[in-house]
Amino acid sequence: MALQMFDLKGQRVLITGSSQGIGFALAKGMAGAGAEIVVNGRDLAKISAAATELRADKATVHELAFDVTDHDGVRTAVDSFEGATGAIDILINNAGMQHRTELQDFPADAFERLLQTNIASVFHVGQAVARHMIDRGAGKIINIASVQTALARPGIAPYTATKGAVANLTKGMATDWAKYGLNCNAIAPGYFDTPLNAALVADPEFSAWLAKRTPAGRWGNVDELVGAAIFLSSAASSFVNGHTLYVDGGITASL
Protein backbone atom coordinates (compact mmCIF):
# COMPACT_ATOMS: atom_id res chain seq x y z
CA MET A 1 0.00 0.00 0.00
CA ALA A 2 2.79 2.42 0.90
CA LEU A 3 4.52 1.90 -2.46
CA GLN A 4 1.33 2.90 -4.28
CA MET A 5 1.84 6.43 -2.93
CA PHE A 6 4.83 6.74 -5.29
CA ASP A 7 3.04 5.36 -8.37
CA LEU A 8 2.88 7.89 -11.24
CA LYS A 9 0.71 5.86 -13.61
CA GLY A 10 -1.83 8.10 -15.34
CA GLN A 11 0.27 11.22 -14.70
CA ARG A 12 1.82 13.32 -17.44
CA VAL A 13 5.02 15.26 -16.72
CA LEU A 14 6.56 18.12 -18.70
CA ILE A 15 10.29 18.41 -18.09
CA THR A 16 11.97 21.47 -19.58
CA GLY A 17 15.43 20.99 -21.02
CA SER A 18 14.96 17.22 -21.02
CA SER A 19 16.87 16.18 -24.14
CA GLN A 20 20.09 15.63 -22.14
CA GLY A 21 21.71 15.74 -18.71
CA ILE A 22 19.63 15.92 -15.56
CA GLY A 23 16.42 16.54 -17.48
CA PHE A 24 16.81 13.38 -19.55
CA ALA A 25 17.74 11.31 -16.49
CA LEU A 26 14.60 12.55 -14.75
CA ALA A 27 12.54 11.72 -17.84
CA LYS A 28 13.82 8.13 -17.79
CA GLY A 29 13.22 7.81 -14.07
CA MET A 30 9.73 9.28 -14.13
CA ALA A 31 8.81 7.01 -17.05
CA GLY A 32 9.99 4.08 -14.97
CA ALA A 33 7.51 5.13 -12.27
CA GLY A 34 4.70 5.04 -14.82
CA ALA A 35 4.44 8.67 -15.95
CA GLU A 36 3.92 9.88 -19.50
CA ILE A 37 6.78 12.16 -20.53
CA VAL A 38 6.67 15.46 -22.40
CA VAL A 39 10.20 16.09 -23.69
CA ASN A 40 11.08 19.75 -24.16
CA GLY A 41 13.92 21.79 -25.60
CA ARG A 42 14.71 24.10 -28.49
CA ASP A 43 16.67 21.67 -30.67
CA LEU A 44 14.20 19.47 -32.57
CA ALA A 45 16.83 16.87 -33.43
CA LYS A 46 17.86 16.46 -29.78
CA ILE A 47 14.23 16.25 -28.65
CA SER A 48 13.52 13.58 -31.25
CA ALA A 49 16.59 11.56 -30.27
CA ALA A 50 15.68 11.71 -26.58
CA ALA A 51 12.08 10.71 -27.32
CA THR A 52 13.23 7.79 -29.46
CA GLU A 53 15.46 6.48 -26.67
CA LEU A 54 12.66 6.79 -24.13
CA ARG A 55 10.19 5.02 -26.42
CA ALA A 56 12.68 2.18 -26.83
CA ASP A 57 12.19 1.60 -23.09
CA LYS A 58 8.40 1.45 -23.63
CA ALA A 59 7.70 4.96 -22.31
CA THR A 60 4.78 7.01 -23.59
CA VAL A 61 6.41 10.20 -24.88
CA HIS A 62 5.28 13.51 -26.33
CA GLU A 63 7.57 16.08 -27.95
CA LEU A 64 7.01 19.76 -27.23
CA ALA A 65 9.51 22.30 -28.54
CA PHE A 66 9.58 25.84 -27.17
CA ASP A 67 12.02 28.40 -25.83
CA VAL A 68 11.58 28.65 -22.07
CA THR A 69 12.65 32.31 -22.13
CA ASP A 70 9.84 33.35 -24.50
CA HIS A 71 6.82 34.16 -22.32
CA ASP A 72 4.26 34.31 -25.12
CA GLY A 73 5.74 31.29 -26.89
CA VAL A 74 5.60 29.24 -23.71
CA ARG A 75 1.98 30.19 -23.10
CA THR A 76 0.98 29.29 -26.66
CA ALA A 77 2.80 25.95 -26.58
CA VAL A 78 1.38 24.91 -23.20
CA ASP A 79 -2.17 26.00 -24.02
CA SER A 80 -2.05 24.21 -27.38
CA PHE A 81 -0.73 21.01 -25.81
CA GLU A 82 -3.34 21.02 -23.06
CA GLY A 83 -6.10 21.59 -25.62
CA ALA A 84 -4.93 18.95 -28.09
CA THR A 85 -3.42 16.25 -25.87
CA GLY A 86 -4.56 16.73 -22.28
CA ALA A 87 -3.44 17.75 -18.84
CA ILE A 88 0.11 18.40 -17.73
CA ASP A 89 -0.13 16.98 -14.21
CA ILE A 90 3.49 17.54 -13.21
CA LEU A 91 5.96 20.22 -14.27
CA ILE A 92 9.70 19.99 -13.70
CA ASN A 93 11.42 23.31 -14.46
CA ASN A 94 14.86 21.96 -15.29
CA ALA A 95 16.20 24.15 -18.12
CA GLY A 96 19.29 26.08 -17.11
CA MET A 97 22.70 27.35 -18.13
CA GLN A 98 26.04 28.28 -16.61
CA HIS A 99 28.68 30.94 -17.39
CA ARG A 100 31.95 31.10 -15.47
CA THR A 101 33.77 34.44 -15.19
CA GLU A 102 35.02 36.41 -12.20
CA LEU A 103 32.37 38.88 -11.13
CA GLN A 104 34.36 42.05 -11.88
CA ASP A 105 34.71 40.88 -15.52
CA PHE A 106 31.33 39.21 -15.92
CA PRO A 107 29.71 40.25 -19.25
CA ALA A 108 26.38 42.01 -18.92
CA ASP A 109 24.86 40.02 -21.77
CA ALA A 110 25.84 36.73 -20.10
CA PHE A 111 24.27 37.95 -16.86
CA GLU A 112 21.01 38.68 -18.70
CA ARG A 113 21.03 35.25 -20.36
CA LEU A 114 21.46 33.61 -16.97
CA LEU A 115 18.54 35.58 -15.55
CA GLN A 116 16.29 34.65 -18.45
CA THR A 117 17.26 30.98 -18.67
CA ASN A 118 17.60 30.09 -14.99
CA ILE A 119 14.91 32.13 -13.26
CA ALA A 120 12.60 33.95 -15.71
CA SER A 121 11.91 30.60 -17.39
CA VAL A 122 10.66 29.19 -14.09
CA PHE A 123 8.14 32.03 -13.96
CA HIS A 124 7.15 31.72 -17.63
CA VAL A 125 6.59 27.97 -17.71
CA GLY A 126 5.35 27.76 -14.12
CA GLN A 127 2.67 30.35 -14.70
CA ALA A 128 1.55 28.87 -18.04
CA VAL A 129 1.16 25.37 -16.60
CA ALA A 130 -0.20 26.46 -13.21
CA ARG A 131 -3.17 28.25 -14.79
CA HIS A 132 -4.43 24.89 -16.03
CA MET A 133 -3.55 23.10 -12.78
CA ILE A 134 -5.47 25.72 -10.80
CA ASP A 135 -8.56 25.11 -12.93
CA ARG A 136 -8.29 21.38 -12.15
CA GLY A 137 -7.53 21.91 -8.46
CA ALA A 138 -4.37 19.76 -8.54
CA GLY A 139 -0.81 19.77 -9.80
CA LYS A 140 2.85 19.28 -8.91
CA ILE A 141 5.59 21.77 -9.77
CA ILE A 142 9.25 20.97 -9.13
CA ASN A 143 11.90 23.60 -9.81
CA ILE A 144 15.52 22.56 -10.17
CA ALA A 145 17.62 24.71 -7.86
CA SER A 146 21.27 23.97 -6.99
CA VAL A 147 23.76 23.57 -4.20
CA GLN A 148 24.50 27.18 -5.17
CA THR A 149 21.08 28.07 -3.80
CA ALA A 150 22.81 27.97 -0.41
CA LEU A 151 26.51 28.26 -1.22
CA ALA A 152 28.77 30.31 -3.48
CA ARG A 153 31.99 29.63 -5.35
CA PRO A 154 34.34 31.98 -7.22
CA GLY A 155 33.43 32.82 -10.80
CA ILE A 156 29.71 32.02 -10.73
CA ALA A 157 28.12 34.80 -8.67
CA PRO A 158 25.27 35.51 -11.14
CA TYR A 159 24.46 31.79 -11.38
CA THR A 160 24.35 31.68 -7.58
CA ALA A 161 21.96 34.63 -7.60
CA THR A 162 19.61 32.92 -10.05
CA LYS A 163 19.52 29.69 -8.08
CA GLY A 164 18.84 31.55 -4.84
CA ALA A 165 15.95 33.18 -6.66
CA VAL A 166 14.63 29.78 -7.78
CA ALA A 167 14.25 28.72 -4.14
CA ASN A 168 12.45 31.93 -3.21
CA LEU A 169 10.18 31.79 -6.27
CA THR A 170 9.36 28.22 -5.24
CA LYS A 171 8.27 29.52 -1.83
CA GLY A 172 6.18 32.18 -3.56
CA MET A 173 4.52 29.62 -5.81
CA ALA A 174 3.60 27.51 -2.80
CA THR A 175 2.30 30.53 -0.93
CA ASP A 176 0.06 31.61 -3.81
CA TRP A 177 -0.96 28.25 -5.25
CA ALA A 178 -1.18 25.72 -2.40
CA LYS A 179 -4.74 26.87 -1.72
CA TYR A 180 -5.63 25.68 -5.24
CA GLY A 181 -4.31 22.17 -4.62
CA LEU A 182 -0.81 22.62 -6.08
CA ASN A 183 2.40 21.36 -4.48
CA CYS A 184 5.39 23.54 -5.44
CA ASN A 185 8.85 22.41 -4.35
CA ALA A 186 12.45 22.44 -5.51
CA ILE A 187 15.29 19.96 -5.81
CA ALA A 188 18.79 21.34 -5.25
CA PRO A 189 21.41 19.04 -6.79
CA GLY A 190 24.97 19.11 -5.56
CA TYR A 191 27.81 18.45 -8.00
CA PHE A 192 26.68 15.99 -10.65
CA ASP A 193 28.48 14.67 -13.72
CA THR A 194 26.47 16.47 -16.43
CA PRO A 195 27.20 18.40 -19.65
CA LEU A 196 26.79 21.64 -17.67
CA ASN A 197 29.68 20.58 -15.42
CA ALA A 198 31.84 19.03 -18.16
CA ALA A 199 34.69 21.50 -17.64
CA LEU A 200 34.80 20.76 -13.91
CA VAL A 201 34.55 17.00 -14.35
CA ALA A 202 37.52 17.18 -16.72
CA ASP A 203 39.59 19.13 -14.17
CA PRO A 204 41.47 16.66 -11.90
CA GLU A 205 42.26 19.38 -9.37
CA PHE A 206 38.58 20.32 -9.01
CA SER A 207 37.45 16.71 -8.78
CA ALA A 208 40.02 16.08 -6.04
CA TRP A 209 38.80 19.16 -4.17
CA LEU A 210 35.19 18.05 -4.54
CA ALA A 211 35.92 14.56 -3.20
CA LYS A 212 37.44 16.11 -0.08
CA ARG A 213 34.71 18.76 0.30
CA THR A 214 31.73 16.41 -0.09
CA PRO A 215 31.08 13.99 2.80
CA ALA A 216 30.06 11.31 0.26
CA GLY A 217 33.47 11.79 -1.34
CA ARG A 218 32.44 11.83 -5.01
CA TRP A 219 30.48 13.37 -7.87
CA GLY A 220 26.78 12.58 -7.92
CA ASN A 221 25.22 10.31 -10.53
CA VAL A 222 22.22 11.90 -12.27
CA ASP A 223 20.14 8.78 -11.55
CA GLU A 224 20.42 9.66 -7.86
CA LEU A 225 18.06 12.60 -8.42
CA VAL A 226 15.21 10.41 -9.62
CA GLY A 227 13.97 9.33 -6.18
CA ALA A 228 13.56 12.92 -5.03
CA ALA A 229 11.67 13.79 -8.21
CA ILE A 230 9.31 10.82 -7.87
CA PHE A 231 8.67 11.67 -4.23
CA LEU A 232 7.83 15.31 -4.93
CA SER A 233 5.68 14.30 -7.93
CA SER A 234 3.67 11.68 -6.10
CA ALA A 235 0.92 11.43 -3.50
CA ALA A 236 3.65 10.72 -0.93
CA SER A 237 4.43 14.47 -0.80
CA SER A 238 0.84 15.70 -0.54
CA PHE A 239 1.60 18.04 2.40
CA VAL A 240 5.08 19.13 1.29
CA ASN A 241 5.03 22.66 -0.08
CA GLY A 242 7.60 25.41 -0.61
CA HIS A 243 10.47 23.08 0.31
CA THR A 244 13.93 22.84 -1.26
CA LEU A 245 15.30 19.30 -1.06
CA TYR A 246 19.09 19.15 -1.27
CA VAL A 247 20.49 16.06 -3.00
CA ASP A 248 24.16 16.85 -2.60
CA GLY A 249 26.08 14.09 -0.82
CA GLY A 250 26.08 16.20 2.34
CA ILE A 251 28.03 19.18 0.98
CA THR A 252 25.64 21.78 2.45
CA ALA A 253 25.71 20.02 5.83
CA SER A 254 29.46 20.14 6.29
CA LEU A 255 32.14 22.79 6.65
The span from the CA of 12 to the CA of 248, in Å, is 27
Instruction: Name the pLDDT band for 199 (thresholds 50, 70, 90).
Output: confident
User: Stretch 183-202: mean pLDDT, rounded?
Assistant: 92
Give the pLDDT of residue 194.
Answer: 86
Give the pLDDT of residue 255.
Answer: 87
Helix (H, G, I), strand (E, B) or coil at 254: coil
User: Stretch 9-25: mean pLDDT, rounded?
Assistant: 97
Q: Which of 159, 180, 191, 246 is the catalytic position?
A: 159
Strand partners, 40: 64
For residue range 120-157, list pLDDT tens digits in order.
999 999 999 999 999 999 999 999 999 999 999 999 99
Domain assignment present for residue 237? The answer is yes
Q: What is the DSSP string of 29-56?
A: HHHHTT-EEEEEES-HHHHHHHHHHHHH
230: pLDDT strictly greater than 70: yes
**What range does the domain containing 238 cover?**
2-248
Instruction: Name the pLDDT band for 10 (thresholds 50, 70, 90).
Output: very high
Domain assignment present for residue 255? The answer is no
For residue range 152-171, list pLDDT tens digits in order.
999 999 999 999 999 999 99
198: alpha, beta or left? (left if phi > 0; alpha if psi -120 to 50):
alpha
Helix (H, G, I), strand (E, B) or coil at 167: helix
Q: What is the pTM of this model?
A: 0.97
Domain assignment present for residue 253? The answer is no
The CATH number that applies at residue 114 is 3.40.50.720
The span from the CA of 196 to the CA of 237, in Å, is 29
Report how far Cα 192 is from the mean position of its chain's Cα atoms.
13
Domain assignment present for residue 110? The answer is yes
90: alpha, beta or left? (left if phi > 0; alpha if psi -120 to 50):
beta
Domain assignment present for residue 217? The answer is yes
User: Stretch 186-194: mean pLDDT, rounded?
Assistant: 95
Domain assignment present for residue 254? The answer is no
Domain assignment present for residue 232? The answer is yes
Give the pLDDT of residue 42.
Answer: 96
Mean pLDDT of the chain: 97
Residue spans of beta strands (DSSP E) within the chain: 12-15, 36-41, 61-65, 90-93, 139-144, 182-189, 244-247
Is 159 marked active-site? yes
Give the pLDDT of residue 1.
Answer: 64
Domain total in the chain: 1
